[in-house]
Amino acid sequence: MTRAQVRKCPPEVSFGGRVLFLADDAELIRRQLHEGLDLDLTPDLKANLRHQISTDEITPAYICYFYDETLGEFPYLGLEAATRAGGTEAPIERGTVKDAGFICSVAGKRRGKGSSREQSPYAELMAGIKVVVSESIERIYNENCQNLGILTTTNFGLIDRIRSGEPIALSEFTAGTDDITRQIIEYGGLFEFNMARMGGQVTLPSPRALADPHAGDAGPRPMTLGEKIFARKWVVDAAEGRIGTDWTEPGEAGFFRADIRFSHEYVTPMAAIFFEQKLGAHARVLDAESILFFRDHLTFLHKVMSQERIEQGLLEVANQLEVKQREFSEKQGIRLYGEQQGHAMGSEAICHSKILEDYAEPGMLVIGTDSHTPHAGAVGALAFGVGTTAIFNSWITKDVRARIPPSFKVVVNGRLPANATAKDLMLEILRHPYVRDGHAIGQIIEYAGPVVEGLSVDERATMTNMAAEVGAFTGLVAADQRTVEFLVRERGMDMARARALVDGVCSDPGADYVNVIEIDASRLRPMVALPGDPGNGLYIDELADPVHIEIAYAGSCTAGKKEDMDMYARVFREARDRWGLGVHPDVDCYIQCGSTDVREYAREQGYLDLFREIGAEFIEPGCGACIAAGPGITRSPDQVSVSSQNRNFPGRSGPGQLYLVSPYSVAASAVAGRVAAWEPGVRMERVGAGAPRMPVLA
């Protein structure tokens, strides 16, 4: 493609074809696929559309081993819908969507929540889906659709016009978008837009602070922390190298200079293919020093993949991800945190862990191809997830497009109980109506208040990391003395430099928030999220009957940090030393850290010996069970596990029932043999060995 060939889409579009309604009715979906049933949107059907469809359901993890048009065989294979018998099942099989000739897919609220995997909309596109209609659409998924050229809308009134082939003004799909997003849609995707941008064919909006000479007559407006960082990183004139403006406000759109760009092996190969196809095999990335690659998601896959899938060739397909990433890394001179060498299995680090440990600084802008990129917001960095197309475009331009989101604040007052953690706070936030009902989608969540100020950077990272589960654009905590201490202790940074970095990385007094949520931590008790969604939270002591478990998984990027290891060890040491207890005989317990740095910390503290003595299996760094790719996954629908990871969407960690809890609670549950909270100094009540494990929910 040459720049001269870049053209906008026509002002009108027309489709004509079948519409797939993703209803919460497995039989109704099956009839659309296999009997050619075409449905009309009645009030009853609209009320029965599936809500909260995650990208894990659109393309389960194993499908993401593919990164080409083969993905078109797989959309919605993990989607579960209700059966007439009262259960749930996944009614969609390989190839059925593509074979049935659908051009539009319709769902309910919060479509595309969860992982940032661009394989999901790409699978839909390759299956023939050209338009996505939903009541609300998650930010990263929506951007991925736009970047690929899939049209999205929340206007259900367009469905019949799409089906009939009636011409529809493209403005129906660009209404309400910012000027840059409008042009991306008009050019048919982000790469096409960027080629036009580099060729001088597009007009970019200027920051209001520069475009309106009278806008700042009263002085710069008070800004939230997120707005401040966006202002500092705004690419005002790429050709002249002009970066930054005095102030910004929500709704403004632009391109912003990224300090760090990273991706992992699920995404890098697809991005590399796009890069080489669009620019040529000999093209070079811009500023390789600020790009990082990670082999962290699939290091342990061979230990858990079923023989059936191995025989289908999926392990070989998955291993090619590592090969393609490594070859592209070597070719481009990009730092790759890969597999450990020698006898040890596992990764050098999970991407989020390493970015926070060694790279992110207060005030930086960090982008990564994972929804949990906000992990780095713990030190006041503006870190957010992007898709494949966005990351490969950033290799060309070193910037990323964004529309500055509004911010909302969560203020945590009171005093956190001794057995409650940042994870319990997040489970409380996730069940708040503002979050649960989707009002926080695409916003910046800023955590504040005396409890947050008292948290360590590790605990703050749990909260910013799980901004992904909130559906937020990102999560932030203001940089402060705790941040200075972290930079000096963990990075060996000079105290004066650390203080200089922290200075001013906070919201201004009087900054505007769309909402402020206050939480009294003193009223908090250890929490559990019931299977299916992190927002299904309740206090552990509200469970009607004991929930017996078979697996306890302690780890993931959210809960594989140094302080998490401290928490596991505190519970296990008390169980061993005071009560003579270890891991329950009916439970398989796995503890996995986020990096080799954390592993060495655990070794120095004596934790590795402790874990072995109490009957837990320590696993080298990696993502593993959190994405159904390592020890700790369930193997059957009736298996029950408890985990300190970040999400429990259907199929996320195997077909079983996954309960989310804090590090303290997952260790206590491993000892008790049931979902349990840790009460310091109180003997853990254990279920009998060999007792039935079927859970009874409240």
| pLDDT per residue as tens digits for the range 361-388 | 999 999 999 989 999 999 999 999 998 8
Q: Which two tokens stand for residue 31?
A: 């009839």
Q: Region 45-60: what's the mean pLDDT?
A: 94
Identify whether residues 66 and 22 lie together within a single domain. Answer: yes
Report the Cα 322 to chain-centroid distance in Å.
21
Please indicate, yes or no, if residue 10 is contained in any of the structural domains.
no
Residue predicted with more confidence, 238 or 289:
289
Q: Region 86-90: what's the mean pLDDT?
A: 92
Q: Where are the alpha helices (DSSP H) in 25-178?
A: 26-34, 43-47, 55-58, 96-100, 119-126, 139-148, 159-164, 171-174
- Of 121, 144, 164, the residue that ends a domain is 164
Please indicate, yes or no, if residue 657 is contained in any of the structural domains.
yes
Q: Are strands 537-539 and 527-529 parallel, antiparallel or unpaired?
A: antiparallel
Here the CATH number for the domain that contains residue 41 is: 3.20.19
Identify whether residues 454 and 545 lie together within a single domain. Answer: no
- Of 110, 136, 164, the residue that ends a domain is 164
Identify whether residues 261 and 306 lie together within a single domain. Answer: yes
Identify whether residues 549 and 666 lie together within a single domain. Answer: yes
Amino acid 5: pLDDT = 55
User: For residue 698, is pLDDT > 90?
Assistant: no
Amino acid 31: pLDDT = 97
- 192 vs 186: CA distance, rounded Å: 10
- 143 vs 170: CA distance, rounded Å: 17
User: For residue 213, is pLDDT > 80?
Assistant: no
Of 12, 29, 188, 176, nearest to 100 (Cα)? 29
Amino acid 688: pLDDT = 77
Identify whether residues 410 and 517 lie together within a single domain. Answer: yes
Identify whether residues 559 and 661 lie together within a single domain. Answer: yes
- 633 vs 655: CA distance, rounded Å: 8
Helix (H) or strand (E) holding 264: strand 260-264
- Of 493, 523, 553, the residue that ends a domain is 523
Please indicate, yes or no, if residue 554 is contained in any of the structural domains.
yes
Percent of the chain with pLDDT over 70: 96
- Residue 493 bridge partners (DSSP): none
Amino acid 697: pLDDT = 36
User: For residue 4, is pLDDT > 60?
Assistant: no
User: For residue 488, is pLDDT > 70?
Assistant: yes
Identify whether residues 61 and 39 lie together within a single domain. Answer: yes
| DSSP track, 432-486 | SHHHHTTTTTTPEEEEESHHHHHS-HHHHHHHHHTHHHHT-SEEEE---HHHHHH
Amino acid 62: pLDDT = 84
Give residue-wise pLDDT tens across range 644-688: 999 998 888 899 999 999 999 999 999 999 999 999 999 988 887
Place of tokens 């039935």: 692
Amino acid 691: pLDDT = 44
Identify whether residues 439 and 474 lie together within a single domain. Answer: yes
What's the whole-model pTM score? 0.86
Identify whether residues 486 and 599 lie together within a single domain. Answer: no
Here the CATH number for the domain that contains residue 475 is: 3.40.1060.10
Please indicate, yes or no, if residue 556 is contained in any of the structural domains.
yes
Check: CB of residue 98 under 8 Å from CB of residue 127: yes
Here the CATH number for the domain that contains residue 585 is: 3.30.499.10
Amino acid 692: pLDDT = 41
User: For residue 313, is pLDDT > 50?
Assistant: yes
Place of tokens 């931590």: 521
- 8 vs 183: CA distance, rounded Å: 8
Identify whether residues 410 and 536 lie together within a single domain. Answer: no
Please indicate, yes or no, if residue 490 is contained in any of the structural domains.
yes
Please indicate, yes or no, if residue 461 is contained in any of the structural domains.
yes
User: For residue 693, is pLDDT > 80?
Assistant: no
Please indicate, yes or no, if residue 203 is contained in any of the structural domains.
no
Interior angle at CA 108, CA 104 and CA 114, nearest 5:
95
- 158 vs 111: CA distance, rounded Å: 18
Identify whether residues 517 and 569 lie together within a single domain. Answer: no
Give residue-wise pLDDT tens across range 289-311: 999 999 998 888 888 888 888 98
- Residue 19 bridge partners (DSSP): 104
Amino acid 590: pLDDT = 97
Of 649, 538, 636, 644, nearest to 589 (Cα)? 644
Q: How many structural domains are present in the chain? A: 4
Identify whether residues 67 and 34 lie together within a single domain. Answer: yes
Check: CB of residue 123 under 8 Å from CB of residue 58: yes
Please indicate, yes or no, if residue 632 is contained in any of the structural domains.
yes
Give me the chain's average pLDDT, please: 92
Domain boundaries, position 298:
226-359+386-400
Check: CB of residue 239 under 8 Å from CB of residue 397: no
